[in-house]
């Protein structure tokens, strides 16, 4: 491990020499582990459902759970999380229910956003989870909006925005980093450097030595962290959030991790990368590593692990069974949720639809 | 109970998949989520897991077969399980057409524009779809056999026309004429012209009252073979000399415009076999009478099928005489690689305004098509107006070459 990359536990789950384990109680450590494992098992189940034609699309996070959940854990409930699209684990940790998540995947009548988004494009105002925004990097400047709004109104809230290594090549990334630097926005820019932007490898994404080093040009902090080390990710994110909260400005965190699976259910990584490369990174798996750490520290056992797996499986099956039984949202919801008051042209279309539906009933 | 598993849309909007490898066979038992088959789509190769537990009673299609989304892939006997316990995949509905069919990879796609394994960009696929072209029948000339828009044009010009006609009408009501020989050559030549040159057409009306009087006076003096065409050719040559760009060709490869210093004019001639363009050479050096006899000889040769090869080659500009039925306006197709063509319409008496009075004059229209890449609109207009001067006042022809 390079001196400049923050790390606490190694690939065997041992504490690195000289590293200080952050003070996190056992319950919280288990909570972290549970969220990571839930994230992994949900991904596996949902990808299978997609292959069976039961949901139309899915984005998994396998290999990146440490980066996603460690960072979310460092934030307070009043802070906003602005997702990219791979951060369901962060939402679960916040309390976003598996039921809500699954209903959204099926776009059924209980879906909170009533089938108006692709699967995996969840949102929750109550939990301060901004809507997943697929266009690459478009969510990064939103973080400044959340952050600066809090700053100007005197609320001690921080915004954390997730994006991938590919998004750093977008103009939005530059714009957001620059504004955050100039106005000392209380923002954490969290770059999941998972080595691949769909099929574009990190080598051709940037000529910079690292992604974190780009922070220097904007006058903000930049740090690299072992993204597969959930505790190290927690540590650097907590420090970044603390700086932001104290009015000391933004931080760009580069979490070095790996996307073990496909970009989405529509992608086939075997077309552009080697199985050997994947195998190397699987040995650095964040969940395996954290489990070893917990066992090593006396917090966890194989028996408990087996029990947890059973619980998670039951939880997932229950959510899927329930979600799949529900029909689609009422057709009339198509006209709702966009305008506060329905404009005349939608009113006309709705009336026409009602007439058609009535005549079909007769 | 027999459960039919249909191929779902496993990408975002794929319509079919190729069976790469079967992982189960008839008679095998499968568990829920056990992989059954590897399927390759436009986007990815994936393993399809079974949504139910049971015994495989049928697999549809062999390795290499293309299966439509929504077509039955596997039938599984799920025993006592009721339909309420079986998940109903929502994303296994076919995009259209009969679903329960499979076909060999590389065989024609059912849907025009689908093309299965054919390589083509979405833009080209869209063109193919709009024009009803089956991509699997088109040979690609691009990198790795990729089909380009030019390939579609080429395809339409040859095989597709006959095929399309064949589909539109019942066989008995059609007479099939082979599209070969001269017909096909004309087609290829003219479509090359339309594909390459940026055509536009400029139309003017000429008062040829004096020309008609002149020709009539020559006819009564015994020159009864003399018609208007030699005068037109002479006037055109005067114009070409004044505007050399109109007497040129464009060499796209070398990026050069070649100005021709000779004036060989093609005469578009209808024959029984089709359009031919015999060439009157050195029009600038010949008298009206020489031109007249040359034209007569060349046209007769073309119509009798006796043209020599050199009679049909080397024109630098073409005139198409639209004859007695010649209409008011035409949009002639340039005789590629020339850059312009002049359509000459019939002469007729029309009321026109002269000195604030309506008078009857002999009028004739000219339709000039030009290649905008070389000849801009104002050049074409100036060229036509210059040519018109000689047709309006044929006496000027006596002076041509002396300006």
Is residue B98 scored above 50 in pLDDT? no
Nearest neighbour of A54 by CB, restricted to B45, B46, B87: B87
pLDDT in tens, B215-260: 999 988 888 888 899 999 999 999 999 999 999 999 988 999 999 9
Written as one string, the DSSP assignment of B23-76 is: S--TT-EE-TT-EEEEEE-SS-EEEEEPSS-EEEEEE-S-TTEEEETTSEEEEE
What's residue B401's pLDDT?
A: 55
Q: Percent of chain B at pLDDT above 90?
A: 51
pLDDT in tens, A240-249: 999 999 999 9
| Nearby residues of A271 by Cβ (< 8 Å), 6 or more positions away | A199, B44
How close is the nearest chain A Cα to the Cα of B24, in Å?
A: 16
Banded pLDDT at B112 (limits 50, 70, 90): very low
Report CB contact under 8 Å: B8, A51: yes
Which residues in A lie closer than 8 A to residue B73 (C-beta atoms)? none
Is residue B165 scored above 80 in pLDDT? no
- Residues of A with catalytic annotation? 259, 263, 272
Q: Decide: helix, strand or coil at residue B338.
A: strand
pTM for the structure as a whole: 0.61
What is the mean pLDDT of the segment spanning A176-186? 97
Distance CA B280, CA B307 (A): 12
- Name the least confident of A161-170, A283-292, B113-122, B220-229: B113-122
What's residue A122's pLDDT?
A: 96
- Helix (H) or strand (E) segment spanning residue A161: strand A159-164
Distance CA B105, CA B103 (A): 6
Distance CA A120, CA A265 (A): 11
Which residues in B lie closer than 8 A to residue A48 (C-beta atoms)? 33, 49
B254 touching chain A per CB within 8 A: no
How many other C-beta atoms are found inside a 10 Å radius of the C-beta of residue A333? 15
Which residues in B lie closer than 8 A to residue A43 (C-beta atoms)? none
pLDDT mean across residues, chain B: 86
Banded pLDDT at B101 (limits 50, 70, 90): very low
B94 touching chain A per CB within 8 A: no
Is residue B159 scored above 80 in pLDDT? no
Can you name the residues that pair with B66 across neighbouring β-strands? B18, B103
Report CB contact under 8 Å: B8, A52: yes
Burial of A175 (0-12, 13-18, 19+ CB in 10 A): middle
Nearest neighbour of A51 by CB, restricted to B10, B12, B90: B10
pLDDT in tens, B126-152: 888 888 888 888 888 888 888 988 888
The residues of A whose Cβ lies within 8 A of any Cβ of B are 48, 50-57, 262, 265-268, 270-271, 324
B87 touching chain A per CB within 8 A: yes
Is residue B164 scored above 80 in pLDDT? no
Is residue A201 scored above 70 in pLDDT? yes
Residue in chain A closest to B91 (alpha carbons) equals A53
How many other C-beta atoms are found inside a 10 Å radius of the C-beta of residue B255? 7
What's residue B107's pLDDT?
A: 41
Task: Give me B381's structure tokens.
Answer: 């207009």
Determine which of B87, B88, B99 to mutate to test the interface with A (most A C-beta atoms within 10 Å): B87
What's residue B304's pLDDT?
A: 85
Residue in chain B closest to A322 (alpha carbons) equals B87
How close is the nearest chain B Cα to the Cα of A40, in Å?
A: 17
Q: Percent of chain A at pLDDT above 90?
A: 92
What's residue A237's pLDDT?
A: 98
- Residues of B with catalytic annotation? 372, 376
Q: What is the ipTM of this complex?
A: 0.74
- Name the least confident of A56-60, A302-306, B108-112, B189-193: B108-112
Banded pLDDT at B153 (limits 50, 70, 90): confident
Report CB contact under 8 Å: B51, A266: no
What's residue B266's pLDDT?
A: 96
pLDDT in tens, B306-356: 888 788 889 999 999 887 777 899 999 999 999 999 999 999 999 999 999
pLDDT in tens, A207-216: 999 999 999 9
Nearest neighbour of A53 by CB, restricted to B44, B45, B89: B89
Handedness of CA A71, A73, A78, A84 (dihedral sign): positive
- Cβ atoms of B299 and B278 within 8 Å: the answer is yes
pLDDT in tens, B62-79: 888 888 999 999 999 998
* Residue appearing with tokens 């589909």: B167
The CA-CA-CA angle for residues B321, B211, B235, to 5°, reads 60
What is the helix, strand, coil percentage profile of chain A, to 5? 50, 10, 40
pLDDT in tens, A96-136: 999 999 999 999 999 999 999 999 999 999 999 999 988 99
Which residues in B lie closer than 8 A to residue A56 (C-beta atoms)? 9, 12, 90-91
């Amino acid at each position: 491990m390079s001196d400049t990359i923050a790390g606490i536990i190694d690939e065997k789950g041992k504490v690195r020499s000289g590293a200080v384990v952050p003070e996190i109680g056992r319950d919280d450590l288990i909570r972290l582990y549970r969220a990571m494992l839930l994230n992994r098992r949900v991904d596996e189940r949902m990808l299978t459902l997609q292959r069976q034609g039961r949901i139309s699309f899915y984005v998994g996070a396998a290999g990146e759970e440490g980066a996603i959940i460690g960072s979310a854990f460092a934030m307070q409930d009043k802070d906003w999380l602005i997702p990219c699209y791979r951060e369901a684990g962060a939402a679960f940790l916040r309390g976003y229910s598996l039921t809500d998540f699954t209903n959204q995947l099926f776009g059924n009548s209980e879906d909170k956003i009533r089938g108006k988004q692709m699967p995996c494009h969840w949102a929750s105002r109550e939990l301060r989870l901004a809507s997943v925004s697929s266009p690459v990097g478009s969510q990064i400047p939103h973080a400044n909006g959340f952050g600066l709004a809090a700053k100007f109104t005197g609320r001690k809230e921080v915004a954390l925005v997730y994006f991938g290594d590919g998004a750093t090549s977008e103009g939005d990334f530059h714009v957001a980093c620059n504004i955050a630097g100039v106005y000392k926005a209380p923002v954490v820019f969290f770059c999941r450097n998972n080595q691949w932007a769909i099929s574009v490898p990190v080598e051709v994404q940037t000529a910079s030595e690292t992604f974190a080093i780009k922070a220097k040009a904007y006058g903000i902090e930049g740090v690299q962290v072992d993204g597969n080390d959930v505790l190290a990710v927690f540590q650097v994110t907590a420090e970044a959030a603390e700086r932001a909260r104290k009015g000391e400005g933004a931080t760009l965190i580069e979490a070095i991790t790996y996307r073990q699976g496909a970009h989405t259910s529509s992608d086939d990584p075997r077309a552009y990368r080697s199985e050997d490369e994947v195998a190397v990174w699987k040995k650095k798996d964040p969940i395996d590593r954290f489990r070893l750490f917990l066992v090593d520290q006396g917090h966890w056992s194989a028996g408990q692990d087996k029990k947890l797996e059973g619980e998670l499986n039951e939880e997932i099956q229950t959510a899927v069974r329930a979600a799949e039984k529900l029909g689609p949202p009422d057709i009339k919801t198509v006209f709702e949720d966009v305008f506060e008051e329905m404009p005349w042209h939608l009113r006309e279309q709705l009336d026409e639809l009602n007439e058609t539906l009535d005549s079909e009933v007769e | 109970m027999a459960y039919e598993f249909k191929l779902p849309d496993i990408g975002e909007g794929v319509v079919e998949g190729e069976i790469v490898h079967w992982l189960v066979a008839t008679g095998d038992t499968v568990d829920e989520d056990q992989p059954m088959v590897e399927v390759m789509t436009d986007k990815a190769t994936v393993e399809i897991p079974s949504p139910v537990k049971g015994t495989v009673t049928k697999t549809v299609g062999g390795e290499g077969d293309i299966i439509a989304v929504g077509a039955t892939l596997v039938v599984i006997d799920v025993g006592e399980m009721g339909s309420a316990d079986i998940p109903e995949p929502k994303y296994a509905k076919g995009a259209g057409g009969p679903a329960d069919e499979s076909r060999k990879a590389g065989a024609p796609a059912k849907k025009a524009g689908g093309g299965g394994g054919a390589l083509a960009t979405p833009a080209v696929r869209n063109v193919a779809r709009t024009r009803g072209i089956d991509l699997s029948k088109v040979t690609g000339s691009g990198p790795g056999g990729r089909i380009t828009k030019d390939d579609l044009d080429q395809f339409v010009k040859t095989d597709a026309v006959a095929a399309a006609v064949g589909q539109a009408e019942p066989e008995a009501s059609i007479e099939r004429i082979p599209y070969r020989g001269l017909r096909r050559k004309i087609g290829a030549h003219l479509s090359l012209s339309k594909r390459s040159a940026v055509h536009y057409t400029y139309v003017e009306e000429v008062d040829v009252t004096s020309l008609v009087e002149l020709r009539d006076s020559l006819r009564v003096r015994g020159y009864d073979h003399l018609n208007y065409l030699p005068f037109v050719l002479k006037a055109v040559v005067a114009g070409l000399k004044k505007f050399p760009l109109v007497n040129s060709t464009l060499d796209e490869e070398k990026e050069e415009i070649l100005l021709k210093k000779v004036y060989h004019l093609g005469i578009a001639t209808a024959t029984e076999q089709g359009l031919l363009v015999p060439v009157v050479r050195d029009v600038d050096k010949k008298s009206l009478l020489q031109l007249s006899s040359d034209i007569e000889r060349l046209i007769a040769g073309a119509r009798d099928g006796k043209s020599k090869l050199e009679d049909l080659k080397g024109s630098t500009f073409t005139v198409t005489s639209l004859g007695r039925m010649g209409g008011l306006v035409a949009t002639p197709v340039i005789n590629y690689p020339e850059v312009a063509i002049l359509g000459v319409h019939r002469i007729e008496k029309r009321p026109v305004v002269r000195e604030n009075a309506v008078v009857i004059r002999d009028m004739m229209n000219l339709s000039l098509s030009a290649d905008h890449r070389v000849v801009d609109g104002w050049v074409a207009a100036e060229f036509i107006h210059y040519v018109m001067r000689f047709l309006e006042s044929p006496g000027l022809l006596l002076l041509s070459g002396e300006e």
